[in-house]
C-alpha cells in the first residue's frame, strides 16, 4: 500500500470556523496517520499517544480495518434496523462468546451504548422491580454527552450545563462502599461505573470495591453495569477492564476501542436481564454491516494469541519509564493499567503546558517529531497509545517526555 502524502497546506488556509467551536484545538490540521504516527498539513509529524482518544486500538489507518471496510463497503453497508445482517449477528455472537454476556445491542457510540444500558436497567426495573428506576453513579465519572449520560456522569462542570437534567442518578464516591449503600432505596435498580475512571484522570476502582459492589448488588437485587467504553477491548492488558478482578457485570457497555477508529459501540447483557420488547429500542444505523465488519477485524487482532501479552509488555515498559520520571520529580508512581496510564506532575496547571511543549517540538521539515499526550487533569498527563505501539516508539516517547520535564 503506497501512501501519497497530501500537498503541504498552511493552517491559515483552512476555513476552521466552519466547525462549531466545541473544543480548544491546537493550530494544526491532521491529514494522515499510520500506526503510532500522525502528520499535519504543514508536514510535521507526531508520535501519537492520544490515538483518537483511546480509540485506535491498532493505531492509525491499520491495514486490517481498511481491508475489512473496503471489502464490506463493496458487499453490504446497511440493510436497515428492521432486518438481520450477517455481520451484526457475527459481531454479537463473538462478543457473547468473549464476555459471557449472551446478548448485545450494537450502537454508534459509547454514549449511545450507555444510554441503552440506562434504558435496559429502567425497563428491568419496570418489569421485575416494581418500577424501580434510580441508577447509582459516581462522582467524577464520565458516561458520555447525551442528556441522560451527562446526567449520569459526575464530571465537575456538567451540573450547570443544559438544565434541566434527566432525573434518577444519585452520586456515590468511588471506592467507598458505604457511600453506595447509603443511596440504596426501593427505587434503586442499578449501580453503574467505569472499572477505571478514564476522564477523571485514570482512577482505578479497587478490586475490593468491585467485589463489594457485586455482593451489594446481589443482596439488593440490583444490576451491576460496567461502562467499559474506555477500558474494554484490551486497553488494560486484559480483554476487559474487569478481567483482572474477575467481578462480572450484568450489563457492560463498549465503544472507543471496539471499532478501532470506526464509530461503533455495544450494550451487552446477561440473558436474564434482556427485557426489551420489539419497538422499545432502536436506531437507523445501529448494527450496520459496515461498522460491524470493522469491529470484527479489531476482535480478530486483539484475540490473536500474542496480542495481549504484547500490550502487557509495552505497558510494563511505559510504566517503568514513567515511574522513573515520577521518582526523579518526587511524584507518586504511575496510575492505571495496561496502556491507560497517568503521570502526576509536580506543579498544578502544568499538564497543558507540557502537552503543548511536546506537540510544538515538531518541526516543519519533519526532522523532529512532536509527541501527543492528553492533559486529562490540570496536574496529570494521560497516555493511551495504540495497543500495537512498538518498543522503540515507547522508548522515544519516554526520552522526549523525560527531556521536557528536565
Catalytic residue IDs: 142, 227, 256
Determine the Cα–Cα distance for residues 288 and 357; give it in Å rounded to an integer.
41
Nearest residue relative to ligand PLP (C-beta) = 110
When asked if residue 107 is in the footprint of ligand PLP (CB under 6 A), the reply is no
Q: Does 259 interact with ligand PLP (rule: CB under 6 A)?
A: no
137 binds ligand PLP (CB under 6 A): no
* Single residue of 65, 121, 229, 254 touching ligand PLP by CB under 6 A: 229
Minimum distance of ligand PLP from residue 405's CB (angstroms): 26
User: In the complex with ligand PLP, which residue's Cβ is closer, 114 or 388?
Assistant: 114
Answer for which of 111, 200, 239, 340 binds ligand PLP (CB under 6 A) is: 111
- Is 84 exposed, middle or buried (CB count within 10 Å of its CB: 0-12, 13-18, 19+)? exposed
Cis peptide bond N-terminal to 139, omega within 30: no
**Smallest gap, in angstroms, from Cβ of residue 312 to ligand PLP?**
21
Q: Taking the complex as a whole, how short is the minimal distance between the CB of residue 153 and ligand PLP, in angstroms?
A: 8
Kindly state the number of chain residues that form the binding site for ligand PLP, as judged by CB under 6 A. 15
Closest to 201 (Cα-Cα) out of 302, 345, 313: 345
Length of the chain: 406
Q: Which is nearer to ligand PLP, 37 or 285 (CB)?
A: 285
Taking CB under 6 A as the criterion, the residue among 114, 137, 374, 388 binding ligand PLP is: 114
The cell numbers describing 341, all together, are: 496510564
Residue 96 beta carbon to ligand PLP: minimum distance, rounded to whole angstroms: 21
> Which one of 163-171, 173-181, 194-202, 344-352 is the stretch in contact with ligand PLP (CB under 6 A)?
194-202
Please state the closest distance from residue 111 (CB atom) to ligand PLP, in A.
Answer: 3
Q: In the set 122, 133, 143, 242, which binds ligand PLP (CB under 6 A)?
A: 143
Task: Using the rule CB under 6 A, give the single segment among 34-42, 138-146, 279-287, 325-333 that binds ligand PLP.
Answer: 138-146
Rule CB under 6 A: is residue 256 a binding residue for ligand PLP?
A: yes
Angle at CA of residue 239, ends 46 and 398, nearest 5°: 30
Going 332 to 376 to 144 to 141, the CA torsion angle's sign is positive
Chosen residue from 33, 52, 62, 110 binding ligand PLP by CB under 6 A: 110
Nearest-5° angle of CA 292, CA 95, CA 230? Answer: 80
Nearest distance, CB of residue 196 and ligand PLP, angstroms? 9
Alpha-carbon torsion 18, 23, 29, 32, what sign? negative
Instruction: Give exposure, 241-275, as e/b (b: 16+ Cβ within 10 Å).
Output: bbbbbebbbbbbbbbbbbbbbbbbbbbbbbeebbe
User: Which is closer to ligand PLP, CB of 132 or CB of 264?
Assistant: 264
Q: What CA–CA distance (Å, rounded) separates 105 from 77?
A: 18
User: Interface with ligand PLP includes 109 (CB under 6 A)?
Assistant: yes
User: By C-beta, is 198 or 234 nearer to ligand PLP?
Assistant: 198
- How near is the Cβ of 326 to ligand PLP at its closest, in Å? 24
Between CA 295 and CA 298 the distance in angstroms is 5
Which CB, 202 or 398, lies closer to ligand PLP? 202
Distance CA 213, CA 218 (A): 8
**Could you please report the per-residue DSSP string of 133-151?**
-EEEEETT----SSHHHHH
Work out which of 48, 134, 204, 227 binds ligand PLP, going by CB under 6 A.
Answer: 227
Minimum CB separation of residue 352 from ligand PLP in Å reads 20
DSSP 363-390: -TTSSS-EEE-EEEETTEEEE---TT--
Residue where the block lists cell 419496570: 126
| Residue of 36, 104, 188, 230 interacting with ligand PLP (CB under 6 A) | 230
Kindly state the helix (H) or strand (E) to which residue 64 belongs, with its residue range. helix 63-73
Candidate list 195, 198, 257, 338; residue touching ligand PLP; CB under 6 A? 198
Question: Which residues of this protein are in contact with ligand PLP, per CB under 6 A?
Answer: 109-111, 114, 142-144, 194, 198-199, 227, 229-230, 255-256
Amino acid at each position: 500500500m503506497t501512501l501519497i502524502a497530501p500537498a503541504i497546506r498552511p493552517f491559515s488556509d483552512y476555513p476552521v470556523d466552519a466547525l462549531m467551536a466545541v473544543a480548544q484545538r491546537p493550530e494544526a490540521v491532521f491529514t494522515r496517520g499510520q500506526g503510532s504516527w500522525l502528520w499535519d498539513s504543514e508536514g510535521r509529524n507526531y508520535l501519537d499517544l492520544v490515538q483518537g482518544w483511546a480509540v485506535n486500538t491498532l493505531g492509525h489507518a491499520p491495514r486490517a480495518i481498511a481491508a475489512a471496510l473496503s471489502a464490506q463497503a463493496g458487499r453490504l453497508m446497511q440493510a436497515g434496523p428492521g432486518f438481520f445482517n450477517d455481520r451484526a449477528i457475527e459481531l454479537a455472537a463473538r462478543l457473547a462468546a468473549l464476555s459471557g454476556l449472551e446478548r448485545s445491542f450494537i450502537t454508534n457510540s459509547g454514549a449511545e451504548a450507555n444510554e441503552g444500558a440506562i434504558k435496559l436497567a429502567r425497563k428491568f426495573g419496570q418489569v421485575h422491580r416494581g418500577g424501580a428506576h434510580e441508577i447509582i453513579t459516581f462522582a467524577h465519572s464520565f458516561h458520555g454527552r447525551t442528556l441522560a449520560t451527562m446526567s449520569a456522569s459526575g464530571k465537575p462542570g456538567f451540573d450547570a450545563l443544559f438544565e434541566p437534567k434527566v432525573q434518577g442518578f444519585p452520586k456515590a464516591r468511588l471506592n467507598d462502599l458505604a457511600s453506595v449503600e447509603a443511596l440504596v432505596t426501593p427505587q434503586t435498580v442499578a449501580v453503574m461505573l467505569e472499572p477505571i475512571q478514564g476522564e477523571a484522570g485514570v482512577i482505578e476502582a479497587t478490586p475490593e470495591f468491585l467485589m463489594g459492589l457485586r455482593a451489594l448488588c446481589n443482596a439488593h437485587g440490583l444490576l451491576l453495569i460496567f461502562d467499559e467504553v474506555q477500558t474494554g477491548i484490551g486497553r488494560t492488558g486484559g480483554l476487559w477492564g474487569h478481567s483482572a478482578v474477575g467481578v462480572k457485570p450484568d450489563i457492560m457497555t463498549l465503544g472507543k476501542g471496539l471499532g478501532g477508529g470506526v464509530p461503533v459501540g455495544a450494550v451487552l447483557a446477561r440473558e436474564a436481564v434482556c427485557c426489551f420488547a420489539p419497538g422499545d429500542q432502536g436506531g437507523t444505523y445501529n448494527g450496520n454491516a459496515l461498522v460491524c465488519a470493522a469491529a470484527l477485524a479489531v476482535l480478530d487482532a486483539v484475540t490473536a494469541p500474542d496480542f495481549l501479552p504484547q500490550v502487557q509488555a509495552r505497558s510494563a515498559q511505559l510504566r517503568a519509564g514513567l515511574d522513573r520520571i515520577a521518582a526523579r520529580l518526587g511524584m507518586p508512581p504511575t496510575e492505571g493499567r495496561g496502556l491507560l496510564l497517568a503521570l502526576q506532575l509536580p506543579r498544578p496547571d502544568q499538564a497543558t503546558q507540557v502537552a503543548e511543549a511536546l506537540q510544538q517540538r515538531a518541526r516543519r521539515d519533519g526532522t523532529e517529531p512532536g509527541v501527543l499526550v492528553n492533559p486529562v487533569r490540570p496536574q496529570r498527563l494521560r497516555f493511551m497509545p495504540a495497543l500495537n505501539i512498538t518498543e522503540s516508539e515507547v522508548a522515544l516517547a519516554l526520552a522526549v517526555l523525560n527531556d521536557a520535564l528536565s
